[in-house]
Every structure is written in C-alpha cells, then in structure tokens.
C-alpha cells in the first residue's frame, strides 16, 4: 500500500470527550489512588513534576461528573485544504522523522521504543535533534518525558493498577497537558526561588531548568509516532485541535490530577464552545512519519506574548474494521529554549481561519 492508497475522508461521526463547568465550590479533576488504571507514577512525575498540594480534595468532581461526549468532525490532516503546520495550527506531520538507530523507514516495528533504557539513552537525543530541526534557533533542547501507550482492550497489562505497569492507555478527554500554573510555565519563578529541584519533572535537571528560565521563549514539543502496525487502519487516532480555533479564556476549563500528594494542572475544553473547534487526525502513519505538536509555547516574553497550548486527545474511528490491529504509540516531550528576538512564526486568530 502506498501513500496515495490511504483514505482521504474525514471522521464525520466521531465524538470527543469535552468538559462541563463544575458546580459552585467544586474543582474539575480526579483524585488518583494506587489502584487506579492509567499513567504509571514514574511517567506522571516525569511529565508534571512534584508540585505539592495540601488543600482539601473533598470537592473534586471526578471524571464522569465533569465530562460530556460531543459529536465532532475530525478532518484528515493529510488531505486538508490548508496543510497543518507548527507555526499556524500548532501541529504538523513530519514525513522524514527517521534515524539510523531507533526509527527507520520501511521498518515493520520500532521495537527499541519499547525499551526504556534505549529511549532515555538514545531516542531522547534523536528527538532533540528532530525538535531543533523543526524549530531552528533554539539555544538548547532537553527531552524529559516519554509515554508508551497501548490499547486498554487488546493489552490487559495496560489496565493494571498504575503502580504495576510501565504502559499507559490512550487519553480520551481533550486536554492541553499543562496550564499557566504548571511547573514549566513558571520555571523562572521556581529557579529564582530555589524551589525547582523539589518540584521539577524527574528528568529535567536544575541546570537545564536554569537555561530554560533564562530564555526569552520556551516551547515544549510532543513528538508522537506509532510503534507498530504502520500504514494500517487503527481503532484510535491522535486528535489535534487547531490552536487558532481555541480562545483560551472562553474555551478552557481547569481539570487537575491529584496524585500522591501532588497536583498536575491541566486544561480541558468546555463543551459549549465545541462548535468553534477544528479537529484533525493523520491516519495510517508510516514508519518514517511522526506527528509533532506544541504541548506548550510561552511565546517571547520580551514581546509580551501570551502562552498557548495545543489541545489533543485520543479519538476512536467509528469506521475502523473490527479486526484492525491495536494502536501502539510512543510520545516524547522536548523542551526548547529560545533567545530573542522572535522568529517569523505567525499568530492567527479564530476569525482568520479559512
């Protein structure tokens, strides 16, 4: 099968899990205990750090009470009239995301992505090189978190209590990974106060954080790719929301995770604004392809920029054959530091979307 054989349609009848506002006095979010399925604790702290929370958890809604399924059209990014790009949409398909060691064009699977030692020892460097190629001008790049995901249905090991698994399941609620309260969004303050070493993500050192804190702009890229079953229909895709179709102060709702005495700040999207949002996916990814999106972009501080996030989630394909292979994926986050002045990247509002 060649690229030209791939389907060109959108997923017209897909649905995405949105948020609804919490009742007065309540917080949207979930309290995770040791027996909850989902992200393993080491992966949680590698992404979100160790920001302590000492408040009351009595009025945290839980997942079901603050979420709502919303029918949406999820466009095919391969055939979109406007090719998605990091600068405009906040994400893009990279067709030459290969390396001589880990990810090779034409491979049947990227087996080394299942080995944590190889990922942290080799693939982290490869991901940094790719990130710097995609966003030239960075003075530093640090890979600091990766998540291996497998279907909850086909791989029962992914449904084990989180302290008993090294694998995570796809995340179906649309979210942004962080907020303006998160550690990296406040890296300057954490470094200046000397607190960073106790709150920062596991694999992002205090010395690296100091370089990020001194930067005029910090970007966190998520590099997402399949591990196996390349070029085939899969039941679950990565859905990505065009950043220009989101107005943060109108559309975002805080949704936090409370884990082991720590808090992970996150945004969800309110269901009442879903009609504004433009969703995309990239079907049948090949071995040489990756989807890259901006998990966080501080913008240039010297220009008074407003931070931005790309909302994303897992989305099931209702037309997928019932015997299709599972989706197995690897994502890795890379933090990049940029000096001023700003690059030529454009900023477009919701009203300017063609």
pLDDT tens figures, 330-341: 999 999 999 986
- Reported pTM: 0.91
In angstroms, the CA 195 to CA 193 distance is 5
Residue 2: pLDDT band with limits 50, 70, 90 = very low
Residue 232: pLDDT band with limits 50, 70, 90 = very high
Q: Are 76 and 281 in contact (CB under 8 A)?
A: yes
Q: Where are the alpha helices (DSSP H) in 22-106?
A: 41-48
Burial (CB count within 10 angstroms: exposed 0-12, middle 13-18, buried 19+), residue 4: exposed
DSSP 21: P
DSSP 305: P
In angstroms, the CA 101 to CA 79 distance is 31
SS3 130: helix
* Region 284-300 average pLDDT: 97
SS3 207: helix
Which pair of tokens denotes residue 255?
């949704």
In angstroms, the CA 160 to CA 157 distance is 5
Kindly list the distances between the CA atom of residue 341 and the CA atoms of 17, 194, 208, in Å, as whole numbers in the listed order: 39, 28, 21
Phi, psi of 300 (to 5 degrees): -80, 115
Give the H/E segment covering residue 116. helix 116-118
341: preceding bond cis by omega (within 30 degrees): yes
Q: Are 123 and 102 in contact (CB under 8 A)?
A: yes
CA angle 129/133/134 to nearest 5° reads: 120
Residue 347: pLDDT band with limits 50, 70, 90 = very low
Residue 188: name the closest of 262, 145, 180 by CA.
180
**Which residues are CB-contacts of 281 (< 8 A; sequence separation ≥ 6)?**
11, 74, 75, 76, 77, 237, 238, 239, 240, 315
Length of the chain: 354
Phi, psi of 326 (to 5 degrees): -65, 160
pLDDT score recorded for residue 36: 64
Question: For 45-101, how does the pLDDT look when each residue is reduced to its tens digit (9 = 90+)?
Answer: 889 999 999 889 999 999 999 999 999 999 999 999 999 999 999 999 999 999 989
Q: Are 253 and 268 in contact (CB under 8 A)?
A: yes
pLDDT: is 166 or 142 the higher one? 142
């Amino acid at each position: 099968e060649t690229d030209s054989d791939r389907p060109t349609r959108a997923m017209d009848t897909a649905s995405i899990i949105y948020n609804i506002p919490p009742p007065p006095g309540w917080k949207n979010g979930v309290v995770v205990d040791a027996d909850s399925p989902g992200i393993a604790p080491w992966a949680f702290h590698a992404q979100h750090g160790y920001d302590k929370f000492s408040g009351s958890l009595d009025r945290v809604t839980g997942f079901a009470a603050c979420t709502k399924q919303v029918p949406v059209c999820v466009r095919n990014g391969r055939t979109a009239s406007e090719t998605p790009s990091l600068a405009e949409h906040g994400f893009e398909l990279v067709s030459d995301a290969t390396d001589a060691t880990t990810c090779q064009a034409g491979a049947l699977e990227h087996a080394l992505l299942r080995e944590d030692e190889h990922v942290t020892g080799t693939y982290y460097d490869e991901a940094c090189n790719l990130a710097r190629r995609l966003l030239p001008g960075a003075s530093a790049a640090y890979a600091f978190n990766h998540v291996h995901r497998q279907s909850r249905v086909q791989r029962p090991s992914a449904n084990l209590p989180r302290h008993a698994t090294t694998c995570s399941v796809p995340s179906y609620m649309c979210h942004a990974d962080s907020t303006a309260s998160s550690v990296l969004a406040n890296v300057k303050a954490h470094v200046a106060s000397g607190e960073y070493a106790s709150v920062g993500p596991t694999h992002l050192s205090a010395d690296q954080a100091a370089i990020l804190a001194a930067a005029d702009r910090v970007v966190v890229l998520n590099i997402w790719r399949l591990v196996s079953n390349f070029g085939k229909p899969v039941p679950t895709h990565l859905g990505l929301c065009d950043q220009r179709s989101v107005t943060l102060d109108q559309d975002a709702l805080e949704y936090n995770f409370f884990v082991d005495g720590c808090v992970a700040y996150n945004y969800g999207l309110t269901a009442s604004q879903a009609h504004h949002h433009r969703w995309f996916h990239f079907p049948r990814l090949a071995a040489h392809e990756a989807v890259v999106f901006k998990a966080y972009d501080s913008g240039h501080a010297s220009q008074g920029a407003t931070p931005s996030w790309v909302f994303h989630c897992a989305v099931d394909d209702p037309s997928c054959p019932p015997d299709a292979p599972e989706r197995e994926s690897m994502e890795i986050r890379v933090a990049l530091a940029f000096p001023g002045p700003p690059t030529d990247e454009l900023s477009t509002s919701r009203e300017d979307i063609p």
